[in-house]
């Protein structure tokens, strides 16, 4: 079976979206390599980090929903995105707590909390607390743009203003 056909086309644009948790869990490493480009694979499946200030969503203010690029699960809303000026898109909360899962990360000589997609277990980024950004949650979800796909709200297409 072609792994690309395991996702349902729900947006009318021919893009793969809405991969079920069962289909995500059944996907082999070889299948992930088929459906993700090399950078997406390195970040999403190997917990890499894209270079700062290079991601497509760092400065966008387009309204909509940010999905997991690997499986299409809805993860963040544009209303929770804020300008942290850290080089990666930042949000103060996920769409719902059950959309993400957290893992203690002690790599690179520091203690951090990794954020993964709860549906397909792909690496999204890290969450930091108490940095003084003045957000409602005092959290900064520092996400890799390559881990996300923005689905613009109705009428928001083309309104890619920057922060």
List pLDDT tens digits, range 138-147.
999 999 999 9
The pLDDT tens digits of the residues spanning 40-85 come to 999 999 999 999 999 999 999 999 999 999 999 999 999 999 999 9
In angstroms, the CA 89 to CA 61 distance is 10
Parse the chain into domains and list their residue ranges.
Answer: 3-152
Res. 160 pLDDT band, cuts 50 70 90: low
Residues catalogued as catalytic: 142
C-beta separation of 29 from 8 below 8 A = no
In angstroms, the CA 96 to CA 157 distance is 24
C-beta separation of 93 from 80 below 8 A = yes
Q: What is the SS3 assignment for 108?
A: helix
Burial of 77 (0-12, 13-18, 19+ CB in 10 A): middle
The whole model's pTM is what?
Answer: 0.84
In angstroms, the CA 93 to CA 146 distance is 19
Pick the CATH number of 3-152 from 3.90.650.10, 2.170.150.20, 3.30.70.330, 3.40.50.2300: 2.170.150.20
């Amino acid at each position: 079976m072609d792994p690309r056909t395991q996702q349902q086309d729900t947006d009318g644009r021919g893009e793969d979206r809405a991969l079920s948790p069962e289909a995500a869990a059944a996907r082999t490493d070889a299948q992930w390599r088929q459906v993700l480009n090399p950078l997406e694979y390195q970040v999403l499946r190997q917990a890499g980090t894209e270079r700062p200030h290079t991601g497509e969503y760092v400065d966008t203010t387009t309204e909509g929903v940010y999905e997991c690029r690997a499986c299409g699960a809805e993860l963040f809303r544009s209303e929770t995105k804020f300008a942290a000026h850290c080089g990666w898109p930042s949000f103060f909360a996920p769409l719902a707590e059950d959309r993400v899962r957290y893992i203690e990360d002690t790599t690179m000589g520091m203690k951090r909390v990794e954020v993964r997609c709860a549906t397909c277990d792909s690496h999204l980024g890290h969450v930091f607390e108490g940095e003084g950004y003045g957000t409602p949650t005092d959290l900064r979800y520092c996400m890799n743009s390559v881990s996300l796909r923005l689905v613009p709200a109705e009428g928001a297409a083309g309104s890619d203003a920057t922060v």
